[in-house]
Amino acid sequence: MLSRVLSSIEEIVSPSPTLFQNFEYNWKLIKTFYMKISKNDRHQQQHIDDTNIPYYMEQMLQILIKEEEEIKEFVRRKNEGIENVPVPEKKAECMEFLLENKPLDLMADLAMNEKPVGCRRWVLKWIKRYLTCLENPMLSHGSIFKPILKLMTVCNGSLASPYEIDEILFLEAVSGLIGKNPELIKLFIPSHQFSDSSMKGIFSSKIPKQNSLFECTKIESNIRRVSLMVNEEEEKENDNKKAEIERKEKFKTPSPKKVPKNCNCDDGDRFTLLDAIMSYLESADATIVVRACEGILILVSLKQLNNHCNAINASFTELSHIMGEKLFMCAELIPEDMDLSDIEECTVSWGLFPKDDHHYIGRYQLTSFLCWLDYADCLMKENLFIADILGQLFREHVLEKIIEPNLLELNTQFGLVLAAKIIKQVHSEVMLEEIATWLVGTEINGSDCLLNIVIENAQDNSDVLIQTLQFVEALLDNPNERILHSMLFLYVSTRGYIDSTKTKEIESWSDEEEAREKRRGSVDNVMKSKTMAPNNILKIINNFLLLLPRQLMSESVGTCYEEYMEDANRHYQMWIKKTSKFHWPIEATSPVKRVSAATRSPTSGECNDSGISECTSFYEGPLLRLLFNQVRNMSNQPYELNLASIAILSKLALLPHPYLHEILLSTEIPVAQGATTLFVVIQALSKKLLSEIPRHVDFSYRIRDTAKRLLTNPPLLKEDEEKKTKNLDDSDQLFEALIVLEEFCKELAAIAFVKYHHGTEN
């Protein structure tokens, strides 16, 4: 009781200082110290940690934070409008003092001169916290951003500095603030800054939101510059123009956007903040590099930026070349003799490195390349100007100079695995288009493009077969319309697999249905297709399920085809979504001219044994020919290779394309002489198995045993059996092929039913 009385008396006699008085007092102490070190060399050599300057600076920051909280509380209570309750008015005296007396100028001078020693670190930390802790740090005011521009001049990652981490955190804080208010970007482009005659100049024509402290003073600048920001009408108009260009030039290589000539930026003007952050990409500290990447990504992802400013585009261009050079150097350092499985299993992202301690040859080089590739992909998804330049650099320097020589001559297996890894890693549309340009060219003719050469090489070289199939599967998992067209649809769209003398048997839809053939433009539109939803669907399903005779089936050991439907339905919906923007037809219609030079078989000029010319024989393309040959020879191939082949065929069967559907899933179409469909191939394989398997003793038991071994999870492969000292003979491949074929037929039946269901649902 007595202590409370004494405390009340003390407050009356000697009241506590206000926030403003405390703020001013701490600032005077800092200013006094500055005057001392300017006159005394002994104080200049003193380390800042041995002084009270850090404490004074911390007190000033806490006072600013507390003042802002009190202002917010005052505004809240005032807005509540409680009657007869007096609300003491709060003023932002400390912030006004900060803007009028410019203490940040003095802090910036101390940091730049590094007097006292270690002052730069504390100033950078203080301003970083000031920008991040206050909701409205008033960056647009000249008293705030001018000192920040000064500090940016000493932030240079190309020079060794003990304060690298503080410098990059300071720059990242500034970029984060710009990310919240893109209008502030003008402050970091010299030609777009305010004139020196006004200390309150800011370019925003609106009062900043959530600013109850001050009113924004708009100045009339004597400099007329183009706007860096895009209003909603211009953005909508640009989007419409862009969509129109994309529709007209679907298969053309993207080119960098041209900069209008009405930008008044000087030739040497740059986006100074972005340039400062870019200098830290060469740091030896991975943490600093990640921070720099974060800051850059914030700036380049600003959707409001237009490409009408030469200064911004100059910095974006330099960033693109820096990233292109990094990707080239990292890819060049990857050792070609590293284990291919290590490349396949490596999973990294640009901000996260794997925590496992598993080290192998080339681990650092591979992870570095994949991390930079992932980051480049993020940049390209966020900024189309960078995407156009960086995508072309990546194709010319990495794909054409490093990957392509390995694919064709040096080390084909290494080239295929690394190329597949790259395709799986990227998701930017521009990057996928550059990969398509590399593989199939700008003009799709299906003759001698790199993709066809790679696939055809696997026909005669079993050493690269499994890697080629993995490469093709990567292309399917990350689909591109040009690649799929060159690899598949250029050939099957001729519909040369159908006997032209019996086309009336399959042309069952009416003229009205044929007239409604259109292209899908939205995933919301339910696809209706007579080709993929035929009336004889039950017959097609039975053709797959009853392909093998009862004595060759594993009975209840396997999975009935209904259990494949759930996966097939999920995957089919995924493929519809992935290909929703592709310009694919709905119905399969026979063209007037079926065979062209591009789609004719390489051996079509020869005659077969019966003397019938094959000059007009159907060529299904290198990929389908490779896969059909693999299915024919399943009984003589390893189990893993058979799985890889049918995995690709299953994905192809799921594609919502009518011509591909016909050649893979339509069992009732009249097949042209010399042509091949998937059902024709599996029929031939079934006959071969039926003629060979019954010759083995206890073949029924071996069928059930093989099915039990392969259909367990995980499957018990031949190598696992050999480790148990159980020697398996060569006939195991025969029984393994039978089980694979049986399950494959069930999967095809499920896919056919799912596509029929989607084609007939209301």
pLDDT bin (cut points 50, 70, 90) of residue 125 is very high
Task: Name the residue with tokens 């249905």.
Answer: 513
* Three-class DSSP category at 352: strand
| Number of Cβ within a 10 Å radius of residue 200 | 15
Can you state the angle between helices 450-460 and 429-440, rounded to 10 degrees?
Answer: 60
Q: What is the mean pLDDT of residues 489-513?
A: 67
For the chain, the average pLDDT equals: 78
Contact 554, 703 (CB under 8 A): yes
Handedness of CA 402, 405, 407, 409 (dihedral sign): negative
So what's the pLDDT on residue 344?
A: 87
**pLDDT 10s digits, 452-462:** 999 998 888 88
Across the strands, what pairs with 229? 305
pLDDT of 176 > 80? The answer is yes
* Three-class DSSP category at 47: strand
So what's the pLDDT on residue 512?
A: 38
- Cα distance between residue 345 and residue 341, in whole Å: 6
- Left (φ > 0), alpha (ψ -120 to 50) or beta: where does 670 sit? beta
**pLDDT 10s digits, 379-423:** 999 999 999 999 999 999 999 999 999 988 878 999 999 999 999
pLDDT bin (cut points 50, 70, 90) of residue 201 is very low
Q: What is the mean pLDDT of residues 47-64?
A: 88
For residue 93, what are its two tokens?
A: 């005296």
Q: Which of 614, 610, 624, 638 is nearest to 715 (CA)?
A: 638
Q: Which of 476, 499, 507, 514 is nearest to 655 (CA)?
A: 476
Contact 386, 315 (CB under 8 A): no
Q: Determine the straight-line distance between the first and last CA of the chain, rounded to whole angstroms.
A: 82
- Cα distance between residue 375 and residue 353, in whole Å: 13
Task: Name the residue with tokens 């041995």.
Answer: 50
Contact 692, 685 (CB under 8 A): no
So what's the pLDDT on residue 373?
A: 94
- Cα distance between residue 719 and residue 399, in whole Å: 37
So what's the pLDDT on residue 214?
A: 39
Structural domain boundaries in the chain = 16-227, 306-442+469-474, 488-503+529-603+615-760
pLDDT of 226 > 90? The answer is no
DSSP 647-702: HHHHHHHHS--HHHHHHHH-SSS-BPTT---HHHHHHHHHHHHHHHGGGSTTHHHH
Asked if residue 591 has a cis previous peptide bond (ω within 30° of 0), the answer is: no
pLDDT of 73 > 60? The answer is yes
| Number of Cβ within a 10 Å radius of residue 405 | 12
pLDDT of 444 > 80? The answer is no
For residue 690, what are its two tokens?
A: 């039926």
For residue 631, what are its two tokens?
A: 């299915």
Q: Which of 403, 377, 405 is nearest to 391 (CA)?
A: 377
| Number of continuous H segments (helices) and E segments (strands) in the chain | 33, 0
